[in-house]
Structure 1
């Protein structure tokens, strides 16, 4: 819906953050039928801002639009709704505060933004007309007054936010601190306590498996499954029975004769020695090599062999220099002149072009002519067969589906009548492999939710295969038997026990290293664990085979020699010790100064705007100028739970 707002100038990018939400608010509520809107009902007011209100139907409309446009799963709506409502309220609060502080949007401001958003409304400096303007905003389901009111509100928000952002100041000390924060490095010694080392020590008894199953039975469900009869329409199989008579092929040829007209052309191969990017004093040597190759060819040397060995046109060199057929205008002029002056079998002199030195040989030559029917018969047949196959596949698959709808139990007969493959899949669910097809999410998704005897739509399961299926049985979801899940439970228990053992061993290593005065190597050696030393790395760096610097963030604030308690890195535990701190060279600060200032300004501006908006919102609520109906918001969120 909002495609026209994309990829515009800076003014539009500034507006986008809140504009789209406010545009959605301004849309007419009939776009979403059945929201149950009873105008004027106090219980439907989400928030009030002076005399302006944000209603429940408006929020419902925005949520629905967001769910559709972002493909947000329905189960996530209860998380999205409070965030979205909070954002909407903040936008309204900021616009209200801006007006109270005396900010105003002039007609010139409004016109400038409209021109940026809709440049097609202007022919140079001339406005093309209100009718075209109304048509454009109507595409957003809005009137001109609604649209312009939305723009005014967002411009107010932008003015106030920009005022707050411009108050941010960056001192020289801030820049130096940020430079060191980003560029200082550390080096550590580290010992990895890995589950691989201790997994063999873990044992799981049958009693533990039984107890786990009893305590977590609800976790082990066998999902609903279906049995399917699947009819497969295979393009290759259909092609075997598809024959196009010669009479039809000749009719197509005669009707489209001009399409088979070919210009004068030559089949040529060449050897290229490049001169592009080569120093001028080297070019004579390259030309001498070309002359030497030509002499060998004149003496009977194999052209293809020399091309493969010497040509620097790598694409054609692999094919013995073969460029296939070329026509006039396809190559540079000097190359063309030589190619079209040679007879079949003749070899050119050394030809100089902007690419280098060429030696050409013409293999075949054809004058301009209309290809004969026999020359293009196979091509016409292939093209027509491809078109007919596409149509035939659609027709046959539709016939198969229609027949299944009439007789769901007659899949075998229908397959035989139409020459289709029949595949029977028994008791399969999402992710299961189907006989002969393997996993087919297309078929399983199409069959999901269907009852016995119901038919899927026709789905494409491969580039050259279509399928339609009938549900022959539905097996309800059920609790899994212990025998079905005991291996899964055993693996889960092994993982849990191994994880606990790794944590225990890492803790033991840390304590032993502390007792040894911080000697990590000594403690690790006693436990049979290897200690490694990292390279120097900054806060945005990483240790190869371990993880990012964030796992060792504490070390950037410590002194060399400090030992650190185990850090959880994926499924490992890492005990580490700071070996060295390497301060960044401040002589490099000047080159980074502008970038550092911009990054600091941006981050501080964002933080300041958030603090400002939160404080304004709380103050206006305390003053009673903004009222938020939390009960309505809670009911709205509750309506999306479990969906």
Structure 2
């Protein structure tokens, strides 16, 4: 096979990235006996054997670690996840075994091309066997093993392609999928959460005492620390920086066109959207725009018409007010019309990609240069900001140096360097502090000080501020008194009992639904109200309620059908079908290609799963697949531990 590689140029790229190694491993790791480390010589526990191939415990562990890396995975699900993970391994190996038995061949050229695609940097400029072998050695692989497993991978792909051949998607399937995706329903619903029952919960002093006595170990007062907090801020340090008029005028003179403003207009508008509308609808919208213009010319209030008719959510509630605009801020047609109008003049309906606009100019300003006095304050702020950071850092470091020598003189040192001083008493780690809020880096530094009199470094905290802490007292952790945690216990017990009441009410509501109870009667029984959703699809969501999948059983039903109660995002929901909306079949043609692709993908997955299940079961019957359940159980136990 190396003759194929040598046909290219002889230059070679010698620097390889870690990513390439990961790509190569990810493609072939599941086919390499014994995992990344190679064959273990029989000492490694075997999870499963498929034909002549062994799946070792180490191999599964490596792939599991990769699969679960940086993922939150509930440990209670691990007993289901690991066996399924092993089944996937077995299915892959069984398919590779079947491909071999069927005599599916992969040529040397095909393998070479595949490897060149996998490792392009190695072969860029030509093939070098030493570089190639060295790269594989870094992965604990040799050339024959690597290439043999690439061949297995390609045999497996060829077999899968054979399995997927002949997938057909009928017109009825496309139409059915389009309807499924685009049919909409509207529901009437009642929703109630545990919070609704908190007012019915009574927590007695005895309840609090009993809970406290039974759970004393839960309630501990953590270590607290008292300290002097010194904060260096840009505002306070910047106020001490003097910027003369002479300097400001020099900066103003050198600013060029910075303070030259272009022509601008203040406008309001009414937008009637035409996006995703049919040609007939667009004609009706244009007619509506012309009618609104007639009303405006007849003296109607532009602002009221905008609030009632505009489709621009950013301006309709402000009477169509768009505000000041300069050239280049909006689409060309809108801009051209706005800048061509005189003050208080109204445009004819203007068509843009968004729809029809009626524009009214409220004010205009010609180009001008802002005077020195108008921008003097802005320039002074900029110059102070440019100088403040080094002064801020210098003040904080000088203050810290003096504090290290005389930690009891924090108030005077803060005043000397224009820092703000706060005396903080018994704060817990992570508590919000004056001026800097929750500052974890500062808190960590302060709570790591070993003794009273210790001083933290100047630490960035809050909004571009530097904080220094001087430790003045340490309160050791201790068991909490009831008075300190009573409010928290009451809150916890109230939450618990409100959920118990919710569960009782849910059972009552479930009985009412099964008995054919009316939705209004259900709402009355819980002191709630019946609400109506917007239209939504199966794959969409009922706004304010939850995913459309909770209401899937209502699609295809007649209005009045009920569903629930469902637990959705912390609330219990009962719903009644209000109305159905059929899919707009005129849009089917535009979505046909995507629909066919989606259906083929689903069918391919179903066919693959069916083939693999049948193949594995057949190989098990023939004794060619053996799964070691004891090893799998030990693996599960190790993850639980």
Judge same fold: TM > 0.5, yes or no.
yes
Deviation at 1:549, TM superposition (A): 1.8
Name the CA shift for 1:533/1:65 in 2 (closer, same or farther; >3 Å): closer
What's the secondary structure of 2:49's corresponding residue?
A: strand
Q: Which residue is 1:48 aligned to?
A: 49
Q: Which residue is 1:313 aligned to?
A: 327
Greater displacement, 597-606 / 231-240: 231-240
Counterpart check, 1:199 vs 2:198: yes
Deviation per CA, 1:36-89, whole angstroms, max 9, x where unpaired?
Answer: xx954646333333443333344444455666x637699799677666555444
Name the CA shift for 1:238/1:73 in 2 (closer, same or farther; >3 Å): farther
Name the CA shift for 1:225/1:185 in 2 (closer, same or farther; >3 Å): same
Alignment of 1:395-410 (within 5 A): none
CA contact (8 A) 1:230 1:467 kept: no
- In the alignment, structure 2 segments of 5+ residues that lack a partner are 1-16, 242-253, 266-322, 330-364, 372-381
Deviation per CA, 1:77-122, whole angstroms, max 9, x where unpaired?
Answer: 9677666555444433433333233233322222222232333445
Deviation per CA, 1:496-528, whole angstroms, max 9, x where unpaired?
Answer: 33334345445545656776x654335645775
Deviation at 1:539, TM superposition (A): 1.0
CA contact (8 A) 2:181 2:537 kept: yes
Deviation at 1:166, TM superposition (A): 3.5
Alpha-carbon separation, structure 2, partners of 1:310 and 1:70? 48
Deviation at 1:608, TM superposition (A): 3.0
Q: Which residue is 2:563 aligned to?
A: 564
CA contact (8 A) 2:262 2:326 kept: no
What's the secondary structure of 1:574's corresponding residue?
A: strand
Q: Which residue is 1:27 aligned to?
A: 36
Deviation at 1:215, TM superposition (A): 5.5
Deviation at 1:595, TM superposition (A): 2.0
Q: Which residue is 1:94 aligned to?
A: 95
Alpha-carbon separation, structure 2, partners of 1:71 and 1:505? 37
What's the secondary structure of 1:207's corresponding residue?
A: helix
What's the secondary structure of 1:536's corresponding residue?
A: coil
Q: Which residue is 1:166 aligned to?
A: 165
CA contact (8 A) 1:232 1:465 kept: no
Alignment of 1:166-565 (within 5 A): 166=165, 168-195=167-194, 197-213=196-212, 220-222=218-220, 225=223, 270-271=262-263, 312-313=326-327, 431-433=430-432, 437-442=436-441, 461=461, 482-505=482-505, 508=508, 519-521=518-520, 524=523, 529-565=528-564
Q: Which residue is 2:306 aligned to?
A: none
Please, what TM-score do these two structures have when normalized by structure 2? 0.60
RMSD: 5.8
Name the CA shift for 1:458/1:529 in 2 (closer, same or farther; >3 Å): closer
Deviation at 1:486, TM superposition (A): 3.4
Q: Which residue is 2:608 aligned to?
A: 609
What's the secondary structure of 1:27's corresponding residue?
A: helix
Q: Which residue is 1:338 aligned to?
A: none
- In the alignment, structure 1 segments of 5+ residues that lack a partner are 7-11, 30-37, 244-261, 274-308, 316-357, 365-378
CA contact (8 A) 1:427 1:475 kept: no
Alpha-carbon separation, structure 1, partners of 2:31 and 2:456? 41
Name the CA shift for 1:628/1:224 in 2 (closer, same or farther; >3 Å): farther
Please, what TM-score do these two structures have when normalized by structure 1? 0.59
Q: Which residue is 1:627 aligned to?
A: 626
Name the CA shift for 1:599/1:495 in 2 (closer, same or farther; >3 Å): same
Q: Which residue is 1:596 aligned to?
A: 595
Name the CA shift for 1:193/1:105 in 2 (closer, same or farther; >3 Å): same
